Amino acid sequence: MTLQDQPAARVLIYSHDSYGLGHLRRCHTIAHALVRSYKAISVLILTGSPIIGRFDFRARVDFVRIPGVIKLYNGDYTSLGLHIDLSQTMAIRESIIYNTALSFAPDIFLVDKEPLGLKGEAKNTLKMLKGLGTTNILGLRDVMDSPELLNKEWQKKGIPANLDPLFDRIWVYGPESMGNPLDGVDLPVPLESKMHYTGYLNRRLAKAAIKLVPPINGPYILVTTGGGGDGVELTDWVIRAYEKAGTELPFPALLVLGPFMPSEERTAFAERAKLIENMEVITFNNQLEGLMAKSEAVISMGGYNTFCEILSFDKPSIIVPRKTPRLEQYIRADKAQKQGFITLIDPDFNNDTSVMVNAIKALQHASHPSSNMPDNMLNGVEDVVNTVHEILSNRGYVLIPNEPS
């Protein structure tokens, strides 16, 4: 096969994204890194995120939006936009996933976090692609949940028995020093030979993010809770701190509430912020990395993507992790604090406004993550790109690097 008649390599990424921004932002980062690095790669993202259209995409990256579902507080799911039975929504989703994969015929199928898809919707697609010779890859966060809860959840879903037959590789988006996310899961066969630790998915600024003008002129603290759906308590805590201490705090605060925060709470927070001299509030910005890079420090809940950005842009930070329904954020923050990367505040102290006031005051003297970070901790994007190059080269592709941008 000559370079002239070689077809573009194809990578299909699945992200169930029933709620929040985390899975989508991780897939977006990987997709852009691949097409930025090589000319002859096309990436298609399958997602249920209702706001994927608000993100910018490079050439050769596109998406297919499957009908959205949302997880209720009791753990059940319901259709997000369609007023039809959940079983009908799931049938539509499964059909779109399967037929998109069949038509797109990817060389690599990357499944983000949920091995068999939401309620098993990707299982038949994985089987089909496996039979066609596609390289199936499962991408996992550095921390999934407490070992006991993850094992219980995965056994109930029948995941462990399907990992070895359906997946050729398992990527862990973190360093081995942060632990094995599958420790404690009862697996029928060992998976160590398939597991690869990429390091954290380091972030870079897009041109639009570099040109971004923050709403606050001068130094500021960025306060972000990701999608915002579970960020009400932290946002209220920070606002109370500024209401109490005001200009005693070292920097103004820029609050990004998130598109999934309930509108009633968003409105109430915006009204309270109007009365605070050194605070600005916005709902969403698709160049959040730019806002973080230009900040002095960060206050967040410490979800995976925000944590990667804190390390990438080397920002002193306060992490207030959630403890329900998963312990993922708390486990990550606890490990990160012990290694000197962040300051952890237990959310159980939420009623004590002075705890947040004192933590914000201490930010101006806090160390940067880089002062304690080993060299191999932030090489995840490069590692993924290199591994994809290896897989595609073994499939006969000759990849031409793009000029650095």
Confidence band for 162, pLDDT divided at 50, 70 and 90: very high
pLDDT for position 1 = 45
Integer Cα distance of 243 and 46 in angstroms: 43
20: left (phi over 0), alpha (psi -120 to 50) or beta: left
Rounded-to-integer distance, Cα 108 and Cα 133, Å: 9
Q: Which residues lie closer than 8 Å to 112 by C-beta, 6 or more apart?
A: 13, 14, 15, 16, 23, 26, 27, 139
- pLDDT confidence band for 24 (50 / 70 / 90): confident
In the predicted structure, residue 4 carries a pLDDT above the cut 70: no
d(CA 298, CA 366): 11
pLDDT band at residue 5 using 50, 70 and 90 as cut-offs = low
Tokens of 56: 């910018």
| CATH superfamily of domain region 9-202+379-394 | Glycogen Phosphorylase B; (3.40.50.2000)
What's the token pair of residue 341?
Answer: 């990367």
Residues in the chain: 405
> Is a pLDDT exceeding 70 seen at residue 203?
yes
Distance CA 27, CA 45 (A): 7
Mean predicted confidence (pLDDT) in 258-277? 95
**In whole angstroms, what is the distance from residue 284 CA to residue 255 CA?**
10
49-53, 136-140, 161-165, 238-242: segment of lowest average pLDDT:
49-53
What percent of the chain lies above the pLDDT cut of 70?
96
Is the pLDDT at 229 greater than 60? The verdict is yes
Going by C-beta distance under 8 Å and a sequence separation of 6 or more, which residues neighbour residue 398?
3, 6, 40
Q: At what angle do helices 353-363 and 232-245 cross, to 10 degrees?
A: 80
Amino acid letter for position 206? A
Confidence of residue 260 (pLDDT cuts 50, 70, 90): confident
The C-alpha angle with vertex 123 and arms to 122 and 125, in degrees rounded to 5, equals: 65
Q: What is the CATH number of domain 207-374?
A: 3.40.50.2000
d(CA 283, CA 267): 10
Q: What is the mean pLDDT of residues 190-201?
A: 97
* pLDDT of 185 strictly over 60: yes
What is the average per-residue pLDDT within 296-313? Answer: 96
**Nearest-angstrom CA–CA distance, 157 and 119:** 8
pLDDT tens digit string along 30-66?
A: 999 999 999 899 999 999 888 888 888 999 999 999 9
Cβ atoms < 10 Å from Cβ of 264: 9
Q: Which residues pair with 78 in a beta bridge?
A: 70
Positions of CATH 3.40.50.2000 in the chain: 9-202+379-394, 207-374
Write down the pTM of the prediction: 0.93
* pLDDT score of 404 more than 90: no
Residues 6+ apart with CB under 8 A from 149: 326, 327
Residue appearing with tokens 């842009």: 313
pLDDT in tens, 59-118: 999 999 999 887 665 556 778 777 888 899 999 999 999 999 999 999 999 999 999 999
Give me 327's structure tokens.
């312990």
Average pLDDT rounded to a whole number, residues 368-379: 92
Q: Does position 18 have pLDDT exceeding 70, yes or no?
A: no
DSSP 371: G
Question: Quick one: pLDDT at residue 403?
Answer: 73
Provide the CA 21 distance to its chain's centre, in angstroms. Answer: 6
How many other CB atoms sit within 10 Å of the CB of residue 88?
A: 12
pLDDT of 302 reads 93
**Cα gap 209→288, rounded to integer Å:** 8
Per-residue b/e over 17-31, b at no fewer than 16 CB within 10 Å?
Answer: bbbbbbbbbbbbbbb
Query: Mean pLDDT of all residues in the chain?
Result: 93
pLDDT > 90 fraction of the chain, expressed in percent and rounded: 80
| Residue whose structure tokens are 């606002």 | 239
- Complete DSSP assignment for 348-370: GGTT-HHHHHHHHHHHTTPPPGG
